[in-house]
């Protein structure tokens, strides 16, 4: 339906004549007739008065089907997101860019594109990376003023990380201070819901906060250095803290149904193995590698959608599998074990058996 046809329909629904509408707008009735027959169209300055007269939004006046538009945006987002979950981030970036070509004002698509570029622009074709980065930063500028608090705060988080990476520390600090202090969405939903949905919201929040602290934040902490360049933690302290993290993961998931979370133990054990290898502690390194391999295989072979049985995450299902790369965890661990750092383990029967097993599952 053209804007002229919409004006005619709205005018008739409100029992307004062409002459009366023209008088309200301060124009001729011939101009209104020209709109309604699609010979001409209203000037941009006349859209607001028309919306006021008919008591409708500009989207309705312009014939935009909001529900249909949102459904299409959601379909495009879900398609790009599923592609990202397979590890094909170069393709998911292109899909998001194409989707934004259709819906350039969608904050949801902008946010997905900006996050993909921040994390995975290195997977895009080299000649596209600068343009991708410039476009993503422009989207973040827009998103930081979004009326949606969640989108606004997430845009601030990504912007802060990016600015810090670019050496724009003062801008990052100012942005960080501008974030609104608020409950997380899971905590807030737990206050709103009742019954099963309330339990699920708090369950998701508990698991998410735990994994963020023991999987990501602890890893960041262990890599920190003091102002004088010395590590905050010694190797002995790092090993102790990483062992504590593994024990905590096992307390969270006592049934051994790690699924998506297996990758965290795999990465922790791999880092512990690296420290032991630097110290020529072959038996300790082999113990860590053994468990890292078990977790990598667990991660690569669990059936997506299978519900947890462990008490806290019970009923939750891991639907995503790949995380950081186009290859699976077995491939990543195998590449590390074939590195020169593991030379002292060459020829060990158990070590070589682990290598052969990983080769069967590496992709």
pLDDT tens, residue by residue, 295-314: 999 999 998 889 999 999 99
In percent, how much of the chain has pLDDT > 70?
Answer: 93
Q: How confident is the model at residue 173 (pLDDT cuts 50, 70, 90)?
A: confident
Measured distance CA(291)–CA(294) in Å, rounded: 5
CATH 1.10.260.40 residue ranges of the chain are 3-61
The token duo for 72 is 């299409």
User: Does pLDDT of 188 surpass 70?
Assistant: no
* pLDDT of 15: 85
Q: Where are the alpha helices (DSSP H) in 55-194?
A: 58-61, 66-85, 89-102, 107-120, 129-143, 149-165, 169-178, 185-192
Within 10 A of 26 (CB to CB), how many other CB atoms are there? 8
The sign one gets for the Cα dihedral 66, 71, 77, 79 is negative
User: Does pLDDT of 230 surpass 50?
Assistant: yes
The answer to whether the CB of 312 falls within 8 A of the CB of 252 is yes
Q: Read off the pLDDT of each residue in 32-41 and give the average, rounded to a whole number.
A: 88
Region of residue 14 (left: phi > 0; alpha: psi -120 to 50; beta: else): alpha
User: Does pLDDT of 324 surpass 50?
Assistant: no
Q: Read off the pLDDT of each residue in 82-92 and give the average, rounded to a whole number.
A: 90
Class for the domain spanning 3-61 = mainly alpha
Measured distance CA(326)–CA(36) in Å, rounded: 55
Angle 284-290-294 (CA atoms, 0-180°, nearest 5)? 150
Please report how the helices 149-165 and 129-143 are oriented relative to each other, as an axis angle in degrees rounded to 10: 140
The token duo for 131 is 């343009």
Its pTM stands at 0.60
Report the b/e string of 119-144 with b at 16+ CB within 10 A: ebbebbeeeeeeebbebbbebbeebb
In percent, how much of the chain has pLDDT > 90?
Answer: 53
The answer to whether the CB of 159 falls within 8 A of the CB of 167 is no
Dihedral (Cα; 200, 112, 176, 179), 10-degree rounding: -50
Q: Which residues contact 189 (CB under 8 A, 6 or more apart)?
A: 197, 198, 201
Mean pLDDT of all residues belonging to the chain: 88
Q: Read off the pLDDT of each residue in 216-232 and give the average, rounded to a whole number.
A: 92
Using CA atoms, how far residue 28 sits from 10, 34, 123, in Å, is: 18, 10, 59
In the DSSP assignment, the letter for residue 317 is: B
The token duo for 87 is 């590890």
Q: Read off the pLDDT of each residue in 346-353 and give the average, rounded to a whole number.
A: 94
User: Does pLDDT of 279 surpass 60?
Assistant: yes
The answer to whether the CB of 215 falls within 8 A of the CB of 242 is no
* pLDDT of 79: 94
User: Does pLDDT of 242 surpass 80?
Assistant: yes
Q: Read off the pLDDT of each residue in 232-258 and give the average, rounded to a whole number.
A: 96
Q: For domain 73-180, which CATH number applies: 1.10.700, 3.40.50, 1.25.40, 1.10.3470?
A: 1.25.40
Please indicate whether residue 352 or residue 319 has the higher confidence score (pLDDT). Answer: 352
CATH 1.25.40 residue ranges of the chain are 73-180
Q: How confident is the model at residue 59 (pLDDT cuts 50, 70, 90)?
A: confident
3-state SS assignment for residue 12:
helix
pLDDT, tens only, 95-151 = 999 999 988 889 999 999 999 999 999 988 999 999 999 999 999 999 998 877 778
Measured distance CA(295)–CA(266) in Å, rounded: 5
Lowest mean pLDDT among 210-214, 259-263, 319-323: 319-323
User: Does pLDDT of 171 surpass 90?
Assistant: no
């Amino acid at each position: 339906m053209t804007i002229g046809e919409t004006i005619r329909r709205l005018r008739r629904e409100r029992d307004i004549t062409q002459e009366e509408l023209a008088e309200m707008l301060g124009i001729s009735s011939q101009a209104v007739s020209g709109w309604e027959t699609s010979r001409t169209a209203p000037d941009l300055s006349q859209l607001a008065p028309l919306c006021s007269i008919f008591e409708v939004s500009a989207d309705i006046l312009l014939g935009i089907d909001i529900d249909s538009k949102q459904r299409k945006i959601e379909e495009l987002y879900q398609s790009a997101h599923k592609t990202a979950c397979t590890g094909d981030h170069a393709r998911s970036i292109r899909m998001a860019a194409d989707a934004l070509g259709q819906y350039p004002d969608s904050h949801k698509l902008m946010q997905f594109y900006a996050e993909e570029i921040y994390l995975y622009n290195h997977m895009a074709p080299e000649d596209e990376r600068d343009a991708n980065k410039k476009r993503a930063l422009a989207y973040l500028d827009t998103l930081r003023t979004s009326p949606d608090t969640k989108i606004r705060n997430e845009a601030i988080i990504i912007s802060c990380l990016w600015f810090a990476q670019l050496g724009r520390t003062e801008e990052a600090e100012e942005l960080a201070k501008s974030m609104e202090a608020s409950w997380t969405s899971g905590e807030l939903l737990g206050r709103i819901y009742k019954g099963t949905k309330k339990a699920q919201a708090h369950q998701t929040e508990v698991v998410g906060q735990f994994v963020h602290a023991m999987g990501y934040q602890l890893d960041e902490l262990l890599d920190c250095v003091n102002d004088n360049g010395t590590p905050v933690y010694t190797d002995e302290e790092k090993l102790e803290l990483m062992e504590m993290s593994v024990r905590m993961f096992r307390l969270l998931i006592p049934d051994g149904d790690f699924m998506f979370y297996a990758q965290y133990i795999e990465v922790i054990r791999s880092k512990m193995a690296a420290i032991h290898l630097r110290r020529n502690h072959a038996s300790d390194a082999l113990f860590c590698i053994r468990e890292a391999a078990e977790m990598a295989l667990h991660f690569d072979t669990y059936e997506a959608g299978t519900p947890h049985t462990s008490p806290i995450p019970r009923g939750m299902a891991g639907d995503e599998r790949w995380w950081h790369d186009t290859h699976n965890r077995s491939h990543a661990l195998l590449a590390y074990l074939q590195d020169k750092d593991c030379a002292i383990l060459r020829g060990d029967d158990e070590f070589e058996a682990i290598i052969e097993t990983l080769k069967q599952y590496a992709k």
